[in-house]
Amino acid sequence: MRGVVAAAVLLGMCSGLAGADAASADDGPRPERGTISFLFENDIFYRTDRDYTNGVLLAWTSAPADTPDFAVRWARALPFFAQSGEVRTSVALGQDIYTPDNIKLANPPPGARPYAGFLYANFGLIDKTESRLDQLQLTLGVVGPDSLAEETQKFVHKLLGDQTPEGWRTQLRNEPGVVLTYERSWKLIPPRSFAGLLFDVEPHAGAAVGNVYDYVNAGAMARIGFPLPDDYGPLRIEPSLPGSNFFEPAGQFGIYAFVGVDGRAVARNLFLDGNTWTASRHVDKNVFVGDLQLGAAITTRSWRLTFTHVFRTKEFCTQKNSDQFGAINLSIRY
């Protein structure tokens, strides 16, 4: 519950800024040129340091009016896209870090999750209608020492005075990473009134293919608040519930809570299965993995701030405990 309290404090501190933003805003909608987002995911919120321990992402998404013509043509050529919505493009840079549950050991025992890092760039194509969101994303990156995960974690731990992770010499070897991900979300129940608030329900389904991840997933998210911005929840790092980097404000100030679930059938997870073309440390993964997330968001005409508490089921057979971590996402619409 410490994460929920942290979310409440964080969002409360920002409400004053939101009020100032609302007071100075014009009544009309602000023209959109794009959205920049920063996302930070970490288990430090719950005083753990294991498994998926850290993720950072910096993303940019275009406004529909500024989307290049060639991207619109590509979107219209994809038969699984809606063919009639607003088309956007996105680019992002990110880094993910994975460690075993005991970072004091220089030589983790068999059955311990391998040390691993992933440094990558995402390129996305998005098609949004009033009731549907299609997102296609290509991820290119590197797994292994070239991901700089060891240097990043050791630097942060030294800065915070935490335990130095001792087992990075056993990490997965260098390997290029390629993933193609597709997600579709629907407004199954569009915003409706309930007890003086608005709520909606958004199911989703998707799949990923590549040498890093192969899986299919499905789930749903529900939101309740006032007024609800036109979005699909907070941005998250894959694999996860799909969100949206961009948002369209419904008023000068808004706040909403959300809860979502996602289930995945996983055929491959490089960070558990080990390197593709060479021998490396690995563990026996669980085929079925689930996420439960809950959180809250504050929106104004120019920014959206969210905190998400994620519960994740065990991902491999020898994992001692299920995971939980927090995610803070700030999206700035300009």
pLDDT, position 47: 86
- Scan for tokens 């087992």, then name that residue: 167
Domain coordinates in residue numbering, the chain: 2-23+36-333
Instruction: Note whether 21 and 301 are within 8 A (CB).
Output: yes
- The rounded mean pLDDT for the chain is 92
Mean pLDDT of 272-301: 97
pLDDT, position 30: 62
User: Tokens at residue 42, please?
Assistant: 């970490």
Mean pLDDT of 27-51: 87
CA–CA distance from 45 to each of 41, 258, 325 (Å)?
A: 9, 19, 7
Q: How far is CA 72 from the centre of its chain?
A: 25
Taking only the tens place, the pLDDT of each residue in 225-282 is 999 999 999 999 999 999 999 999 998 999 999 999 999 999 999 999 999 999 999 9
Q: Which helix (H) or strand (E) holds 120?
A: strand 116-128
CA–CA distance from 279 to each of 154, 276, 318 (Å)?
A: 25, 8, 20
Beta pairing partners, 265 = 216, 288
pLDDT at 201 over 80: yes
Confidence of residue 117 (pLDDT cuts 50, 70, 90): very high
Kindly report the CATH number that applies to the domain delimited by 2-23+36-333: 2.40.128.140
Cβ atoms within 10 Å, residue 64: 16
Cis previous bond, 239, omega within 30: yes
pLDDT at 14 over 70: no
Taking only the tens place, the pLDDT of each residue in 60-106 is 999 999 999 999 999 999 999 998 899 999 999 999 999 999 999 99
